[in-house]
Amino acid sequence: MRVFIDQFCLSNGDDESPKGLTINGKQQVQSVPLLRAAAAGVYPRGNRINTVTFAVTREHASHGAAEGFLFFHAARLPASGNLTFLCEDVDGGAVCYRAEAAAVSSDKGSQLGMTTTHQYTVVCGVISGGELG
């Protein structure tokens, strides 16, 4: 799976595919006590929010390249943009999912030897798609 915030690549797929992908969705719900009713009324009010969390591990050619990427990536990561997930099959087919006006809530980068790992949390509204990318 490839993941982008606008044109900025968070994951280029293959060996750098997201690990531990989770999507936590919620919406505003209003509960109203009803007069002489056995149960309260529950009304979904929308305002959908999805929190997407995943990690990406990258191998680098040297310790210095890993260190440099850690700082470069932190400096260049956009705060917000359109979030795109491109899910590719081994036979070449692809399905695209998008969320407009997403915000990077947090990112955590770490380095171990020649490997860097970034943990991303992105908050967005409705995720739409399922169409071919």
- Closest-CA residue to 48 (of 93, 99, 2, 112): 99
Helix (H) or strand (E) holding 73, with range, is helix 63-76
Sequence ranges of the domains in the chain: 2-26+48-132
Whether the Cβ atoms of residue 133 and residue 116 lie closer than 8 Å to each other: no
The predicted-structure confidence for 52-74, as pLDDT tens digits, reads as follows 999 999 999 999 999 999 999 98
The predicted-structure confidence for 74-120, as pLDDT tens digits, reads as follows 899 999 999 999 998 877 788 999 999 999 999 999 999 999 999 99
pTM of the predicted protein model: 0.87
